[in-house]
């Protein structure tokens, strides 16, 4: 089972998670549609996820990536 962290949850209940495969460390996205849409999980490669659009779930991913950059304070 992959380790995962919720990335974004839409008002209609769809959820996106960033996940990491513990055996090899590869990261990917898990999309879980809301129950009325079937709720069936799908896995999406990170590049494909970011390439697919500029929705709020992609913006959440870009914000998370931005937290990894250490910015020196202004002098």
Tell whether the model's pLDDT for residue 75 goes beyond 70.
no
Instruction: Give domain status of residue 68, yes or no.
Output: no
pLDDT 10s digits, 19-70: 999 899 899 999 999 989 888 999 999 999 999 778 999 999 999 988 888 8
Number of domain units in the chain: 1
Instruction: Give domain status of residue 66, yes or no.
Output: no
Instruction: Give domain status of residue 64, yes or no.
Output: no
Q: Which residue would you say has higher pLDDT here, 8 or 53?
A: 8
Task: Find the domain containing 32 and state its range.
Answer: 3-55
Instruction: Give domain status of residue 18, yes or no.
Output: yes
CA atoms within 13 A on the CB side of 7: 28
**Stated length of the chain:** 75
Residue with tokens 């896995």: 43
Instruction: Give domain status of residue 73, yes or no.
Output: no
Q: Cβ contacts of residue 21 below 8 Å, gap of 6+?
A: 2, 27, 28
């Amino acid at each position: 089972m992959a380790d995962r962290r919720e990335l974004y949850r839409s008002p209609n209940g769809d959820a996106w998670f960033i996940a990491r495969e513990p055996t090899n460390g590869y990261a990917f996205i898990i999309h879980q549609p809301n129950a009325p849409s079937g709720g069936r999980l799908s896995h999406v490669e990170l590049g494909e996820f970011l390439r697919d659009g500029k929705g709020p779930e992609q913006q959440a991913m870009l914000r998370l990536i931005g937290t990894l950059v250490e910015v020196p304070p202004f002098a």
